[in-house]
Structure 1
Amino acid sequence: MGMKVSWLQCIFISLLMLLPLSVALWRRVRPCSICRSYLTGSWTAEFDNLSDWYSSLLSKSPTLTIHNHLLRSIVTANPKNVEHILRTRFYNYPKGKAFSAVLHDLLGCGIFNVDGDRWLSQRKLASQGIGSARARAASFVVLRALVQDRLLPAVASAACFPHGIDLQDLLRSFFFECICRSYFGVSPQQLELDQPAHVLADAFDSASRISACRGAAWAPFLWKAKRLLCVGSERDLQEAVGVVQRLADEIIRKRRALTQATTIGDLLAKFMSTTSDDRLLRDIVINFMLAGRDTVASALAAFFWLVSRHPHVELSILDELQRVVTQPTTTNSTTTHEATKETITTYVEACKEEAGGLEYAQLKDLHYLQAAICESLRLYPPVQFDSKRAVEDDKLPDGTFVRRGTRVTYHPYAMGRMESIWGADCHEFRPERWLKDGEFVAESPYKYPVFQAGRRVCLGKEIALMQMKCVAAAIFRKFTLQTEPSCNRLDFSPGLTSNIRGGLTVIVKPRPS
């Protein structure tokens, strides 16, 4: 009984300590409808996703900027503000210690979670590994071989499943292998893992989701207390991070057993030549796994969904591929779309024999495909928002005052839905907005910060676009993908990247000749 009383007393004292904080917090947010809605969750009555709610709020703001006092945060969709944050006053808007603490358990001291000299030194090395034209060409060689040997046969085999497959899951597995081979110089088949692949994927998803929920918490002391006590979601996070870290450790161990770089873009080998700190190497591996696996896979899944709902876009893509790329091998037995196991087995072998037809030099001629991909990324960026922390007092170009220590968030997802930026048809999937006289024309990165911009612009941007074009071209030339007609919109799971909730089910059929 004494122990029970002791616990009750602790709970009672804790509640008494929280009462003044709760009263002060309520007084702070009571005048602000945005803060009240965020605190109570009343926004969920109208919106399924937090990003859709923010998009609605920002579209109604004359400056495309709003305040969330509860989070001590400013959220903006104003391109001039984005340029100010990412270029003009770059050094005033680092990630910040508070943000780094949120993601530290998962990302540690990796490039996406550090500032200053640590960030700069990692970026310089990474630019040598993935930022050069030579590295992109080498990455294409690895990618095309994997498309031939892994992806196309896997998609062809999926035609045996009348109820469809999860394309997002297939793409995530594929790009995990791409990352391992291109960036880390090892094959997943070489790794001695103590967990099956789906457990590793679930651990990554869980760690990403819980880390993202930390960042959205209005009271950070709650997750910090749970971490201290190792209970609830924080215990789940530690278990998931442990699985991810063991995977990274095994990649490092296997790579260290090799004597030389296996590809020109062997990123891990470059970092291993400068440090023997396995903990830092582990952080680097996890950072690039997150960036290279989840972002491209989720972006491509959304792209295939959009194209499946716009047949005229698919026809335009096919027309361009027919003009630019050598015709693929086809089999008469698949022209009726009646896919038996025997015909699929034949088709799988045909996929293995053909290298995909697409050459590296031809990528630049796929103007419409690139326009369609960029249009998809405008509507469904794999990273929906990004936050910085103001070091000093500042004023944004739209006149918004930024107090020192304020969290400043720019929102690519919302920016893609602003009429003042993209016009009255901003909600429409229209690749033609990126074309001028049939050629692709890029937009300002501050209007379209899908790959960030300024000094922290994504080093893997060109490789990611190359990967998306190569995979899309290979699949479209050989298969038709049908999504569920009842799926009228995409819903995303909470996480550091925008993975489609429940995956993306598609029915695969060989494309008739």
Structure 2
Amino acid sequence: MAMVWYAAATSAALFCIIYFFHRRLSCRYPLYTDYPILGMLPEVLCNLWHIHDFSAEMLKSHGGTAEFIGPWFTNLNFLVTSDPLNVHHVLSKNFNNYIKGPEFREIFQAFGDGIFTTDAEAWKYNRDLFHSLFKHRSFEVFMEKTIRKTVQNSLLPILDHVQQQGRVVDLQDLFNRFTFDNICSIVLGYDSNCLSLDFPEVEIEKAFSQAEESIFYRHIKPKSLWKLQKWLQIGGERKMTEACKSFDQFIHALIASKLEALSKCNENETGEASADLLTTLMREGKEEHDARFLRDAMFNLFVAGRDAITSVLTWFFWLVATNPLVEAKILEEMKEKFGRNEGKAEVLSVEEVKKLVYLHGAICETLRLFPPVPFERKQALEADMLPSGHGVDPSTVLLISLYAMGRSEEIWGEDCMEFKPERWISEKGELSCPSGGRLRSYAKPFSCSSHEGWFQG
């Protein structure tokens, strides 16, 4: 019996040694320290509180491209890059070879078959559909009117109130509520009343945030672990199920209500008041857009609008507050263009905002330093060779670190960590992508002059 145990232990040890050296040979460009059994996960967990800064530094020390290897037998392996030539190759030059893939759709299950999870023809259909909706003049008028109303009736009164009371307010929470109200109105034609003086807890907003949090943790958990939690309905997966159920009940009830309203009146009677995206989709695609398509489209638009805008607003005001010279230049530009009274809050029109070049540059600079989507995930269909010389096998998962790209000296120069809106302004005083071949092709997605950045793949 002892011989059997000895043989089993020897075989297991030999197997572990062989597998360990196999991992060492297969991982030629390690991003972090590769520990036995646990892989590189310990360093990620230890630095989770500043993972994007930590990863940016590690990528810099590895020339912009490296490999992440997860715990043994978890298949949690990625090729991580911030090299702009690699990014251009994956997202443009050889776009058809890199998809989101089935694993991505499993992680982002709550998104359904929307634009952020689909590939090929389904993705193109969603992109073209949304672009056509955004270009409608009626939608542009409706969106401006909705945002102006929220600013005048909710945001400014609350800011005045907390200032008079001498209260401290969490701007991220404030902007999150502001954006949620706008998105509910613009996308669904529904007044959530999330931004009010008593800062109420809105069930649908809470459910939406919970679903996103659970999706985040799916990225760092082994697939087998979160799949088991989902099957047992415990932990974050249980919260995810409950959150999606709440959102689905809300959106399907709204769809049913709008279907009934549309059946009682013709298109001319709905008017500008019903120019929200859900009503427009239902009105223009009654045959091909079923309830599931509408639900998935709305969820994806929620993500595209709420999280991106909340992130940009929060970081923008933090950057401006910590850079008084930039703040002074923004105020000076507004005074020069419109001669407004700085002591009185006024809401600018879209056409007026377009004239504020320096302000636009400051927003682009915010997107560079703190992109709302810090990394992009892609999966290879066929073997490929990246411009950096790194080989890509079929089914290899690539993580593109947009956060690291925004802080690369090679791309932006030695002042890459500085908040400088001037880098986006030409000598003629016009908004322009920074000059330089590699820089110009990289900087284009950071331009905030259109919706294109939401749907780059």
Q: TM-score, normalised by structure 2?
A: 0.81
Amino acid in the other structure paired with 2:443:
Y
- Aligned ranges for residues 63-102 of structure 1 at < 5 Å? 64-70=64-70, 71-102=76-107
Amino acid in the other structure paired with 1:307:
V
The answer to whether the 8 Å contact 1:73/1:408 transfers is: yes
Choose 66-75 or 19-28, whichever is displaced more: 19-28
State percent identity of aligned pairs.
31
| 1:448 partnered with 2:413 | no
* Residue of 11, 17, 36 corresponding to 2:34: 36
Q: What residue number does 2:197 align with?
A: none
The answer to whether the 8 Å contact 1:65/1:78 transfers is: yes
Q: What residue number does 2:8 align with?
A: none
How far apart, CA to CA, are the structure 1 residues paired with 2:203 and 2:402? 31
Structure 1 runs not aligned, ≥5 long: 1-17, 191-195, 332-350, 462-513
Shift of 1:198: 3.9
How far apart, CA to CA, are the structure 2 residues paired with 1:261 and 1:155? 33
Shift of 1:93: 0.9
Q: What residue number does 2:282 align with?
A: 272
Q: What residue number does 1:50 align with?
A: 51
Amino acid in the other structure paired with 2:164:
C
The answer to whether the 8 Å contact 1:129/1:135 transfers is: yes
The answer to whether the 8 Å contact 2:31/2:67 transfers is: no
Amino acid in the other structure paired with 1:67:
E
- Aligned ranges for residues 301-320 of structure 1 at < 5 Å? 301-320=314-333
Q: What residue number does 2:188 align with?
A: 184
Aligned length: 411
Secondary structure of the corresponding residue to residue 303 of structure 2: helix
| 1:122 partnered with 2:135 | no
Secondary structure of the corresponding residue to residue 212 of structure 1: helix
Q: What residue number does 1:377 align with?
A: 367
Shift of 1:54: 1.4
Report Cα offsets for 1:180-233 as digits up to 9, x if no partner. Answer: 22232333359xxxxx6444333222211211221233x312211221222222
Shift of 1:102: 0.8
Shift of 1:383: 0.8
| 1:256 partnered with 2:259 | yes
Secondary structure of the corresponding residue to residue 99 of structure 2: coil
The answer to whether the 8 Å contact 1:74/1:409 transfers is: yes
How far apart, CA to CA, are the structure 2 residues paired with 1:143 and 1:173? 13
Report Cα offsets for 1:468-504 as digits up to 9, x if no partner. Answer: xxxxxxxxxxxxxxxxxxxxxxxxxxxxxxxxxxxxx
Report Cα offsets for 1:258-287 as digits up to 9, x if no partner. Answer: 333646853212332424522221121111
Shift of 1:450: 5.2
Amino acid in the other structure paired with 1:293:
R
Amino acid in the other structure paired with 2:412:
W
Shift of 1:45: 5.2
Amino acid in the other structure paired with 1:251:
L
Q: What residue number does 1:490 align with?
A: none
Greater RCO between the two (CA within 8 Å, min separation 6)?
1
The answer to whether the 8 Å contact 1:390/1:404 transfers is: yes
Q: TM-score, normalised by structure 1?
A: 0.73
Secondary structure of the corresponding residue to residue 399 of structure 1: coil
Q: What residue number does 1:230 align with?
A: 233
- Aligned ranges for residues 309-458 of structure 1 at < 5 Å? 309-328=322-341, 330=343, 356-437=346-427, 438-443=429-434, 446-448=441-443, 457-458=452-453
Shift of 1:245: 2.2
| 1:146 partnered with 2:145 | no
The answer to whether the 8 Å contact 1:184/1:268 transfers is: yes
